[in-house]
Structure 1
Amino acid sequence: MSAPPKTSPTFTKPQKRWLGIIGLAAILTFFGALLLATYAAVNYKYERAQRSDAAPMVFTVPKGAGLSSIATRLEQNELIDSAFVFKLVTKLRGNEANFKAGEFLVDPKLSMAGVYDALANGKAVLYPFTAPEGLTSAMIVRSLDGVPTLIDDDPAVPPEGTLLPETYLTPRGMKQSELLQKMALAQKQLLDDLWDNRAPNLPIKTRAEAIILASVVEKETGVGMERGKVAGVFTNRLRIGMRLQSDPTIIYGVSRGEILLNKAGKRRGIYRSEIDRKTDWNTYQIDGLPKTAICNPGADAIRAVLNPDETDALFFVADGTGGHAFAKTLAEHERNVAKWRKIERERRQR
Structure 2
Amino acid sequence: MWRHLASNTITFLIVGLAGAAGVIAWGVNEYSGEGPLETAICLRVEPGTNFRAVSQRLEDQGAIGSGAIFRIGAEYSEKTSQLKAGSHLIPERASMERIVDLVTRGGASTCGTEILYRIGVNSVEAEVRELDPATSSYTELAEFDPTAEGVEIPEAYETMRERADTRYRIAMAEGVTSWQVMTALNALDTLEGDVSEIPAEGSLAPDSYEITPGTQVAQVIERMAAAQSAILAEAWDNRMDDLPLDSPEEALVLASIVEKETGVAAERPQVASVFVNRLRQGMPLQTDPTVIYGITEGKGVLGRGLRRSELQAETPWNTYVINGLPPTPIANPGRAAIEAALNPASTDFVFFVADGTGGHAFAKTLAEHNSNVAKWREIEAERAAGN
What TM-score does the superposition give when structure 1 sets the normalisation length?
A: 0.65
Question: Matches of residues 1-350 of structure 1 in structure 2 within 5 Å?
Answer: 56-57=44-45, 59=47, 74=48, 104-105=85-86, 122-125=106-109, 126-145=167-186, 147-257=188-298, 258-260=300-302, 267-350=303-386
Distance in structure 2 (CA, Å) of the matches to 1:118 and 1:145: 34
Contact kept in structure 2, 1:215 and 1:297, CA below 8 Å: yes
- SS at 1:128's partner residue? strand
Note the alpha carbon deviations across 1:263-289, whole angstroms, 9 max, x for none: xxxx32000000000100010000000
Contact kept in structure 1, 2:290 and 2:318, CA below 8 Å: yes
- SS at 2:344's partner residue? coil
State the one-letter code of the partner of 2:287.
S
Distance in structure 2 (CA, Å) of the matches to 1:291 and 1:193: 22
Distance in structure 1 (CA, Å) of the matches to 2:207 and 2:346: 27
Distance in structure 2 (CA, Å) of the matches to 1:106 and 1:332: 58
Distance in structure 2 (CA, Å) of the matches to 1:138 and 1:106: 35
Distance in structure 2 (CA, Å) of the matches to 1:158 and 1:305: 22
Distance in structure 1 (CA, Å) of the matches to 2:262 and 2:212: 33
Shift of 1:129: 1.1
Note the alpha carbon deviations across 1:9-68, whole angstroms, 9 max, x for none: xxxxxxxxxxxxxxxxxxxxxxxxxxxxxxxxxxxxxxxxxxxxxx62565xxxxxxxxx
Note the alpha carbon deviations across 1:202-245, whole angstroms, 9 max, x for none: 00110100000000000000000000000001000000100100
Distance in structure 2 (CA, Å) of the matches to 1:308 and 1:340: 25
State the one-letter code of the partner of 1:186.
A
State the one-letter code of the partner of 2:354.
A
Contact kept in structure 1, 2:203 and 2:228, CA below 8 Å: yes
Distance in structure 2 (CA, Å) of the matches to 1:253 and 1:340: 26
Distance in structure 2 (CA, Å) of the matches to 1:180 and 1:155: 12
Identity %: 49
Query: Quick one: structure 1 residues 118 and 57, their matched pair in 2 at CA, closer, same or farther if it must change by over 3 Å?
Result: closer
Note the alpha carbon deviations across 1:52-95, whole angstroms, 9 max, x for none: xxx62565xxxxxxxxxxxxxx49xxx99xxxxxxxxxxxxxxx
Rg (Cα) greater in structure: 1
5+ residue gaps, structure 1? 1-54, 60-73, 81-98, 108-116, 261-266
Larger relative contact order, structure 1 or 2 (CA cutoff 8 Å, min sep 6): 1
Contact kept in structure 2, 1:155 and 1:176, CA below 8 Å: no
Note the alpha carbon deviations across 1:124-153, whole angstroms, 9 max, x for none: 444221100001001111222454432243
5+ residue gaps, structure 2? 1-42, 55-81, 89-101, 110-166
Distance in structure 2 (CA, Å) of the matches to 1:195 and 1:248: 24
Distance in structure 1 (CA, Å) of the matches to 2:362 and 2:269: 12
Contact kept in structure 2, 1:161 and 1:296, CA below 8 Å: yes
Contact kept in structure 2, 1:124 and 1:171, CA below 8 Å: no
- SS at 1:143's partner residue? helix
Contact kept in structure 1, 2:44 and 2:85, CA below 8 Å: no
Shift of 1:186: 0.2
Query: Quick one: structure 1 residues 241 and 151, their matched pair in 2 at CA, closer, same or farther if it must change by over 3 Å?
Result: same
CA RMSD of aligned residues (A): 2.8
Contact kept in structure 1, 2:316 and 2:322, CA below 8 Å: yes
State the one-letter code of the partner of 1:122.
G
What TM-score does the superposition give when structure 2 sets the normalisation length?
A: 0.59
- SS at 1:339's partner residue? helix
- SS at 2:272's partner residue? helix
Contact kept in structure 2, 1:104 and 1:124, CA below 8 Å: no
Distance in structure 2 (CA, Å) of the matches to 1:175 and 1:286: 40
Name whichever structure is richer in strand by fraction: 2
Contact kept in structure 2, 1:164 and 1:296, CA below 8 Å: yes
State the one-letter code of the partner of 2:256.
S
Distance in structure 2 (CA, Å) of the matches to 1:328 and 1:157: 39
Query: Quick one: structure 1 residues 58 and 341, their matched pair in 2 at CA, closer, same or farther if it must change by over 3 Å?
Result: farther
State the one-letter code of the partner of 1:288.
G
